[in-house]
Structure formats: structure tokens, C-alpha cells
Amino acid sequence: MANYLYSADVSEGVRKKIRIFVILVVLCFIILWTRVWFLQILKGEAFKGQSENNRVRMVSLPAYRGKILDRNGETLVSIRPSFNLYITPEDTQDLDNTLTYLSSQVTLEKDVLMKEIERAAPFQNILVKRDLPWKQIAFVEENNRLLPGVHLKVEPLRDYVHKDLAAHVLGYLGEVTRSGLEGKGKEDYSPGDLIGKKGMELLFEDQLRGQKGYKEVEVDVAGRELETLRMLPPQSGNNLTLTLDIRLQRLAESLMTGTEEEPKRGSVVLMKVQTGEVLAMVSQPSFDPNRFASGISRSDWRGLSLNKNHPLQNRAIDGQYPPGSTFKVVTALAGLEENIVTPETRIYCPGSFRLGRGFYRCWKRGGHGHVDLHDALVQSCDVYFYTVGHRLGIDTLAKYARKMGLGSLTGIFLTGEKPGLVPTSQWKLNARKEPWQPGETISVSIGQGFNLTTPIQQARLIGTVANGGMVLRPYLIQKVTDNQGRTLKENLPQILYRIDANKNYFEKIREGLLGVVNEPRGTGRRARLKNIQVAGKTGTAQVVRMKTYESEGEKGEIPYEFRDHAWFFAFAPYEEPEVAVAVIVEHGGHGGAAAAPIAKELFSEYFKHYPRPTVEQNVTSMAINQNVQNNIQE
């Protein structure tokens, strides 16, 4: 009986265990089938898409950006192949270790990169670094098995062929910002794309950039491409031809180059007087846009943006300086037109001009004696122009300055142009809450005081004197062409308006400017050429009042930052003017010594290369903008 009971107990225990086992098996099957239902039914489409993303991906193909050429077809900006390093975080086995291993050979900003990765979409290629050198390329290729998710792409990189040549005109590229991606018309841009930031690169972004292409590729588990399934090729951008002549641009920049310890600062603008075409535009010191094309580091950017010499500033259009004695051509025309003087009127210069109890000295302490308009321009007599300016008054003087294109934008197609300043009595009342003083007119009449002009304004001003009163719109863009050479857009010269003034007065002023360069007592003799008659005007723009240093002797004993700016503007040839130049050398001293020789070299180079068309041939190709002419301030 005992054995029977024991057997029954065992059987009951086994049956209980079997029931528990069956229940567990059933639960497992329920869990398993629930998971299968979740994966296959509820999330099936989503996981199918992820699987496709793991295996098949869409890759963008960058467009070849259009070239920028000089007027003779020489390449200024092109593209070259660049090995760029990318990472797809989802394809890495350990992202942090991968980046640490990479950084042992490749310079990268890990904190910046991690922020980009956090913001990126799934399976997005994140740019690590552009334009890897050969040593780093070899490292990535040799260790590709240890770097899953890391890969190289050969892509076009912007190449500024002549480095810093014409950098302020050409501009530079930079990565499109997050806010920029949200702007209108930026739908085709992606994080990491380069976009024009300054100069022509910015202004003609839509023409130069081209259209991206795309390809559908199959990849392995490490993200490496196995096969291209489909492809839409990119379309190259259009080409841009400028009015610049690289030969003249290169010479102008070399003439404005100082030393590393003391770089020469200033600007040169060379312009055709009958058309407004800019042949050279220099701003020194300069910078190399290639530093931006490959991705500028934060330290390099700080070095450029905080540099005391301001290499990123385009002084040609936004450098504002007192015009100095170059302004005397404005005072001369105003005096003649307002019948204050005639060309023959003689004014006595004893070496100073008295106004009330104040004395305003001429640059020549002993004075110039009796001088007419011609002598006053040739010798740059201050007292003559003090007298004329005082009789005119500030508001009449300002009216003629504005007529000659000062105090307003020239309209050149570049961002950042400044208007300069033509002061009036009302301006001072508004800006300073003070009435205008007669003594301030004395200073303005010789280009000092509140007067401010830019080099591009100065080039146009002397060009206006040369061509007899046509105020032109300076321009830098000659044409836009496609890859087959077809012209899509072409710029033509534009006369904004003509100054309503006696043509004989312009001729008398030009005669005086001819004497500045070619007569024995002229202040611009160092711009003289043997076979070409040059006419011009020197100017010295005062930085500070120099009483402290007047008795110290040589300029070299004056601290650099207190030295005057040196101006010279001129045109040539005198008989049939073709080309004008404006030169300013910051803290260069006297215009005749520092700036005039630069103009001479540029004129000499110009006439080696260019024929001499007649004035009539140029003028007949232009149309006057009547709307602007009707709006001349009277």
C-alpha cells in the first residue's frame, strides 16, 4: 500500500511539472508570436524602410561651380579635385573611439563635429574635413577596415588660382549656416554645402553654383559603396567674365605690397573713363580665399577678423578718407560755375588766409604770391581755394560735390560700398546739434574737415573731369556665359547723368592737372611719362593735426599712425582720355611721393597692351539714363 501511495504522489508531481512546462511553452509562443506580429505587421513597413536605408542610399553629387575669368579669358577662379573625409555615424561600431582614432592623424574639431552629428538626419554623411593632404589620405585608406562608416569622396574644391590676387573682388565661400538653410531659395542646399559669402561668389551665387546631381547606391554593412543603381549627373554652373585685367591687377597689387613687419595699406582703382569698366581694384593688405574654400578654422578666422590691418576690408569701396587736395577740382568747378572766379582771376597767397581772428596756413609757408586757377592747381595753393570756398559757402560747395558723384554710392555691383560724406550746414545740425562755422568751410574747400570719399568715388571723379562731365556707373562684370560659351547676360556702359557745366571750365581744370604732372613746379611730377601726357592731382589727407610734430623734421620721425594719407588721381592720355586711376597709400605722407609713382607704373603698363580708340567710338555705344539725369541734385 505504501508503494502505491508513493507512486501516486510521484505521478501527481510529474503531472504538475508537465502542466507548468506546458504553460511556459505556451507563454513563450504567445510572446514570440506577439513579437512577430509587432515586427511584421505593426512595424513592418518602417523596418523595411530602415533595411533599405542600410542597403540602398541616395547620395548627392556636387555640381562643378562656374569659373571666374578676367577680361582676356584668363582663369582667376576654377575648381580642382579634393579628397574630402565623411562619416556616417550609424555605420560605425563605436563613434567615440572612431573619432579618437581618426584625430590621431587627422586634425579635426571634435566638439563641433559632435554637434553636427547630433543635428544630422539618420544615415546622413557628415563632413569631417575637406581637402585632406596625401599623408592623411593614405592613413584613412590603409585603415579602412578599422574605420567602418568613414570614407573619402573626391569632390570639386574652389581654387583661387592666383591666391590673394583680387581677393576682395572675387570674394570667398563658406559653409551654409543653419539659418541659411531655412531661407527662401535655399531648398537645394544641405548642411556642409559651400555658398558664396563675399564678392562675386556671393553676388553671382545662383549663376555660379550649378545644380546638384544624385545617385542611388548599394552599400555594405560598413557603409562602403558596392554598386551604383541609378544616377542623375550634376549640371555645372555658368562662367563669369570680369572687366579686370590680370596683368594690371597683378602689377597694382605688387606696387601696393609692403613688408610683413609693416604691410602697406591702401587701395588702387583703375578705370576706363569712357565706359566705367574697372581694370584693376586693389585693397591692401589682402587675404587668400583658398583658406575659406577648404574650411577655415576658428583660430584662422579670428586671426583675420581681428587683425589690426583689416585684411578682409575692401578699402576700394568702403574705405572712407578725407580727399585732401584732390577735392580742389570740385572747388575749382564750383567757383567757375558760380562766377566766384574766372580762369584768369588772380588771388594773392601770402602763406596764410585770415578769417576773423583765425589764420589758415598754406602748405607753403612763404606763400605762392599771386596765382590764377592754373597756377593754383599746379602748385596746389591752399589759400587760393580757401578764398574760393569761403566765397561759395558750404552748401553751394556741397551741391557741386554731389553733382560730381561724391556723397553717394557709385552703384558698382559689390556689397558693402560706403557713400562717403559731403557735409552741409543741415548735416552738422542734425548730426552734431551744432551750427556750421565759416572756418569749417575753409577746411572742406581743400578736402579736409568732415569730407570723406572712397577710392572708387575718386576714380570716377577724375574720370568725370577727363571725359567732360559724364558721370558713369563703374562696373566689374563683363558677361555671364554657359559651358558652351553662349552669352547669357552682358553688361554695357551706363552714363548715369551729365553734369550741366561749361565745357570750357572742364578744359581749364584739365589744363591745370596736366601742369601738376608736367610743369617744373607741379606737385605730381613723379607720375610723368615720356611719350604719354598724364594729368592728375596730388592730395594729402590729414589724419591728425600735426602741430606736435611740425618741428620734428623728417616724416620718419612721426609715428606711423599719425602720418598723413597720400592721394593721387590722374587720367591719360591728356588729348583723348582713356583711363583713370585713384591711389591712396594710408599713412604714406605726400601724394606726390608715395602715390604718384604707382599711377605712373600702371599707366605705363596699360599703354603697352591697349590700343587707343577714339572717344566717339566709345560714347556712341552708350545710352543716357534719363531718369537719373532728371534727379540730379541742384
Select from 134, 120, 63, 54 the least CA-distant residue to 87: 120
CB 584 within 8 A of CB 239: no
How far is C-alpha 209 from the chain's CA centre? 18
Helix (H, G, I), strand (E, B) or coil at 121: coil
The size of the chain, in residues, is 634
CA–CA distance, 20 with 18 (Å, rounded to integer): 5
Q: Look up residue 168 and give its amino acid.
A: H
621 assigned to active site: no
3-state secondary structure 515-532: HHHHCCCCCCHHHCCCCC
Select from 245, 166, 169, 70 the least CA-distant residue to 610: 245
Cell numbers linked to 214: 544624385
Which entry of 78, 236, 294, 325 is annotated as an active-site residue? 325
Count other C-beta atoms under 10 Å from residue 511's C-beta: 16
CA–CA distance, 222 with 90 (Å, rounded to integer): 9
Sign of CA dihedral 311, 312, 315, 320: negative
Select from 127, 155, 133 the least CA-distant residue to 65: 155
CA–CA distance, 256 with 316 (Å, rounded to integer): 13
Grid cell 543716357 in the structure block, residue:
624
Helix (H), strand (E) at residue 496: strand 494-498
CB 254 within 8 A of CB 584: no
Q: Look up residue 110 and give its amino acid.
A: K
Residues 6+ apart with CB under 8 A from 480: 204, 207, 238, 239, 240, 241, 487, 488, 489, 490
**Catalytic sites, residue numbers:** 325
